[in-house]
Structure 1
Amino acid sequence: MPTIRRRTFLGTALAAVSLSATRVAAAPILRSDDPRFSAVVAPDTPLRTLYAAGRWCEGLCYAPALGGLIVSDVRANRMLRIGDDGATQVFRDPSNNANGNALDGEGRLVTCEHRGRRVVRREPDGRLTVLAETYEGRPLNSPNDAALAPDGAIWFTDPVFGITMPDEGLMAAPAQAARRVYRIDPGSGRVESMTDAVGQPNGIVFSPDGTRLYVSDTSAALKNPEGARTILTFPVERGRRLGNPRVFATVEAGVPDGLAVDAGGRLYAACFDGVRVFDSDGTRLGRIATATDAANVAFGGPDGNRLFIGAGPIVHAIDLAVRGPARG
């Protein structure tokens, strides 16, 4: 009997060790779908964790003048700053359930607020200037993400997540008849509707040359399994009008959320299984896997080649072989 028990114990222990080893090696951080992925990131590049105490980290924006990476922890109703040295500080608390952030042409932080249903700009002295809160006399839905156009205009998306999800804003009936992408004119400050062709517009980014606009449609996120889970691309005409959209990419589960581009025009999309990387022609190049759903992605760092990833409660960083677009 002692021998049997010993063998049983050893067998169970060895099985546990084997299972543990299998789990550790099961999912590589980097998965290549095309040989061109090797030009984006070296195979052995580590994915680092910068912060892991959030609720839902989005709105990643690298702002050197503000001391590092700005993060919107949407559901915690606060914003954080992560310095290049890894130190994390509260940046704004409460934040009006802030979500997307971008820098304007002068390097000032522009923020989309769910709770405030507005887009604001942070002035050098810390004051907030309201850039947009209504369209045609009615409140916006809940501005979600923003991007800087080559002409200095701020474009932003306006889905309904901040007025339909209790932990992301204040519940309200939409005052707008559609979910749109808007443009804030850099001269007059006028808020213009650019398109209502996206069911629930979310992530937004321009190609490096400004001739294409990418917008993620996250309609499937509203408990609608038949809703869109696509990335659309629009031709930008004369810098301030959009042509007809076409589907750039579709994901089979979850939704594509925040978007970024590198200097070579590749597109990075935060998805349920990490960050998916696409060539400018739509070819899927590979994936940077995350253990939790990725919601946002942005380039930054001292050399411009650091990709920051917001994945639920976690903010990751990985250094790539490519850089984000030059500002200017």
Structure 2
Amino acid sequence: MSVDLSVVVEKYAFLEGPRWHDGRLWLSDFFMGVVVSVDPPGEPRVEAEVPNGASGTGWLPDGRLLVVSMRDRRVLRREPDGTLVEHADLSHIATGWCNDMVVDPQGRAYVGNFGYDLMAGEQARPAPLVRVDPDGTTTVATQGLRFPNGSVVIGDVLVVGETNGNRLSAFDIAPDGTLGPRRDWAAWDPAHGRVAPDGICADAEGAIWVADPAGNRAIRVREGGEIVQVVEPGTGVYACALGGADRRTLFLCTAPGFHERDRRHSREAEVLALRVAVPGV
């Protein structure tokens, strides 16, 4: 699909976890270890420094920022005075670097992890998804996911992208945050092409935009797996978010690759933007 893409942010190492919050686009840089926000067009503002690698973000009901600290497998919380404190320690549960996260309206965070040492080339293995309650209590939400990555909450359903699983998995959320059995929200036959769901976001029609780095694209998917729109910027797409004043701007986190050895000292990551017909939620 031919689209008009504009550059919103550039010259970063590896950008992930885009969120539209309080009129600004929030982003994490894995390897620079920062969370920044920007009011497009505008200069990025550093919101938090996370030396062990910044990834997923979200907000508690009282407005305090949560951010994943990747290598030490923690979730940090930014207090009103700007200091970062430990919100939860996931190191006894997560079997790889912690990664993306979604926070539901009750303040419960669902946190994925790699499941293995991706950067060292370990063999892939399944990983748990961790629930962090507002008081910092950690619980295994579900197990056996194939690289749980980007997640969204749609009503009382959690949808998780499994990067190595060729699928989006759905779980009903009970009132106490417990997850029901896994089911396919969308799944693709690898014999007909791989989809590697990374970051995801939902729109007002209940479709999900999926960053698919395996295909250097972002795809809009309906429940059941039908791909109804494709955006191909010509480079790797690792995360996406819908935002802007009318929520009709699709932001894409792009980079030529993801591996630390290539990205840590490079500054080739960008956020690209385009207008879409259906707004975010």
Which interval holds the TM-score relative to the shorter structure? 0.7 to 0.9
Q: CA deviation at 1:239?
A: 5.4
Aligned mates of 2:114, 2:236 — CA distance in 1: 20
Q: Deviations over 1:258-282 (max 9, x none)?
A: 1111122111110123211012343
How many angstroms does 1:140 deviate by? 6.0
Q: Secondary structure of 1:145's partner?
A: strand
- The aligned residue for residue 42 of structure 2 is 86
Say how many residue pairs are matched.
262
The reply on whether 1:28 has 2:7 as its aligned counterpart is no
Partner of residue 144 from structure 1, selected from 99, 103, 106: 99
Q: 1:139 to 1:233 in 2, by over 3 A?
A: closer
- The structure that is helix-richer by fraction is 1
Q: Which residue identity is paired with 2:110?
A: W
Question: Quick check: 1:48 aligned with 2:2?
Answer: no
Give the Cα separation in 2 of the matches to 1:134 and 1:269: 26
**Does the aligned pair in 2 maintain the 1:61–1:103 contact within 8 Å?**
no
Aligned pair 1:189/2:136, yes or no?
yes
Map residues 1-328 of structure 1 onto 2, 5 A cutoff: 28-29=2-3, 46-64=4-22, 68-93=24-49, 95-134=51-90, 141-160=96-115, 163-165=117-119, 179-186=127-134, 188-207=135-154, 209-210=155-156, 212-219=157-164, 228-238=165-175, 240-247=177-184, 248-250=186-188, 252-253=193-194, 255-272=196-213, 273-312=216-255, 313-325=269-281
Distance 1:160 1:178, change over 3 A: closer
8 Å contact from structure 1 (residues 51, 315) kept in 2: yes
Aligned to 1:223: none
Q: Gaps (5+ residues) in structure 2?
A: 256-268
Aligned residue for 1:195, secondary structure, equals strand
Higher mean Cα deviation, 100-109 or 110-119? Answer: 100-109
Identity %: 27
User: Are the equivalent residues in 2 in contact too, given 1:194–1:242 (CA < 8 A)?
Assistant: yes
Secondary structure of residue in 1 paired with 2:236: coil
2:141 & 2:94 partners in 1: Cα distance? 17
Where in structure 1 are there 5+ consecutive unaligned residues?
1-26, 30-45, 220-227
> Which stretch of the first structure deviates more once superposed, 138-147 or 311-320?
138-147
RMSD: 2.8
Higher strand share: 2
Cα pair 1:270 1:295 within 8 Å, conserved: yes
**CA 1:314–1:164 in structure 2 vs 1: closer, same or farther (change >3 Å)?**
same
Any idea what the Cα deviations from partners look like across 1:59-117, whole Å, max 9, x if unmatched? 212232xx722211212333332223332244444542111112222332211111231
Q: Which runs of 4+ in 1 moved over 3 A?
A: 89-95, 137-141
Cα distance in 1 for partners of 2:127, 2:244 equals 33
Q: Distance in 1 between matches of 2:127 and 2:219?
A: 25
Letter in 2 for 1:83: D
SS in 2 for 1:144: strand
**Once the 2 structures are TM-superposed, how far is the Cα of residue 53 of structure 1 from its aligned partner?**
1.1
Normalization by structure 2: what TM-score?
0.82
Q: TM-score, normalised by structure 1?
A: 0.71
